[in-house]
């Protein structure tokens, strides 16, 4: 999985508790992304980062925050988990293709299955 | 706004037959298009992409895709399907949004029968 790890791989939590998911890469890629996967929706972008301390919102960012203090780590936090945030979360990375600039393909981690009861 | 449609939830094909998984898109400006495959309990794996150039793009595992600008389509094809090709396939599009802010289709499940 292209030098990407996610932790934890599985988590069960209760409504209202904070949750932090971690993505770690060993590829030294500039861009990092958090997606959620839900049946019938494919993957939807939550937040992304284009460098250390540089992040921006995706299409489903409400209820989520992110931080990137080092190139290799990108954290996703659910401040107060809700049942609607039960999902599989994927981290992805991409570099700068020398020929195509920022339009390089993304590589995905193995995913974290989060259940909010 | 960018969007991707995969009109078929599931595609069934016999082993050895050609397969096609359909994708249409809507994006302002020039699109860049990707196909990914997901095996059970795994992350997505990159198959191929179209940025510019030849409309027929070849990718991993014998897959190819044809970019058709007039029909705004990017269908995934393989001349001879294998049982091991059975998986979930996603089409994705990026464009003027930059920074690879991809929009994914809902996915198509491919089932290849022996």
Q: For residues A5 and A66, give the distance between their C-alpha atoms in angstroms, rounded to a whole number.
A: 17
- As a whole number, mean pLDDT of residues A22-37 equals 94
Q: In degrees, to the nearest 5, what angle opens at C-alpha B18 toward C-alphas B16 and B23?
A: 140
Chain B residues touching chain A at CB-CB below 8 Å: 4, 32, 34, 36, 41-46, 49, 51, 90, 92, 94, 98-107
* SS3 annotation, B16-77: CCCEEECCEEECCCCCEEEEEEECCCCCEEEEEEECCCCCEEECHHHCEEEEECCCCEEEEE
Tens digits of per-residue pLDDT, B67-89?
999 999 999 999 999 999 999 99
Instruction: Identify the pLDDT of residue A19.
Output: 97
Question: Is pLDDT above 60 for A41?
Answer: yes
Q: Which tens digit of pLDDT belongs to each residue from B2-53?
A: 899 999 999 999 999 999 999 999 988 888 899 999 998 888 999 999 988 8
CA distances from A29 to A50, A103, B26, B34 (A): 9, 13, 29, 19
**CA distance, residue B106 to nearest chain A CA (Å):** 4
Average pLDDT, chain A: 91
């Amino acid at each position: 999985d292209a030098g990407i790890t996610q932790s934890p791989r599985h988590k069960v939590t209760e409504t209202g508790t904070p949750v932090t998911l971690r993505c770690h890469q060993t590829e030294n890629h500039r861009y990092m992304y958090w997606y959620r996967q839900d049946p019938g929706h494919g993957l939807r972008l939550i937040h992304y980062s284009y460098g250390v301390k540089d992040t921006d919102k995706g299409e489903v960012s409400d209820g989520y925050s992110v931080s990137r203090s080092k190139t290799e780590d990108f954290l996703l936090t659910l401040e107060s988990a809700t049942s609607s945030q039960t999902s599989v979360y994927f981290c992805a990375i991409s570099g700068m293709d020398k020929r195509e600039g920022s339009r390089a393909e993304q590589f995905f981690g193995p995913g974290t299955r989060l259940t909010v009861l | 706004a960018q969007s991707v449609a995969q009109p078929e939830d599931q595609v069934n094909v016999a082993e050895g037959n050609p397969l096609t998984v359909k994708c249409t898109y809507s994006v302002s400006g020039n699109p860049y298009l990707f196909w990914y495959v997901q095996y059970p309990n795994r992350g997505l794996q990159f198959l191929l992409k179209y940025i510019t150039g030849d409309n027929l793009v070849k990718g991993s595992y014998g897959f190819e895709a044809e970019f058709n600008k007039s029909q705004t389509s990017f269908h995934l094809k393989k001349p001879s399907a294998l049982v091991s090709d059975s998986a979930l396939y996603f089409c994705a599009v990026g464009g003027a949004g930059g920074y690879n802010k991809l929009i994914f289709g809902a996915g198509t499940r491919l089932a290849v029968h022996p």
